[in-house]
Structure 1
Amino acid sequence: MNKALFLDRDGIINIDHGYVHKIENFEFVDGIFELCQLAISKGYQIFVITNQAGIARGYYDKQTFEALSQWMVSKFEEQNVSIGKVYYCPHHPDKGVNEFVMSCDCRKPEPGMIMQAQQEYSIALADSIFIGDKISDMQAASNAGIETRILVDSRYTNESNIVDLAGVSRVDSLKQALGLIG
Structure 2
Amino acid sequence: MKVYDGSQTNGQQESTPERIKVGIAEYKVTTDSAVLTTSGLGSCIGVALYDETTGAAGLVHVMLPTAEDVEGGNRAKFADTGVEALVDALETAGASTASMQAKIAGGSDMLDFSESGSSIGSRNAKQVRATLDEYDIPIVGEDVGGDHGRSIQLRADSGDLVVKSANTESTTL
- The two structures have a TM-score, normalised by structure 1, of 0.35
Please say which structure displays the higher CA radius of gyration.
2
- The two structures have a TM-score, normalised by structure 2, of 0.37
**Which has a greater percent of helix?**
1
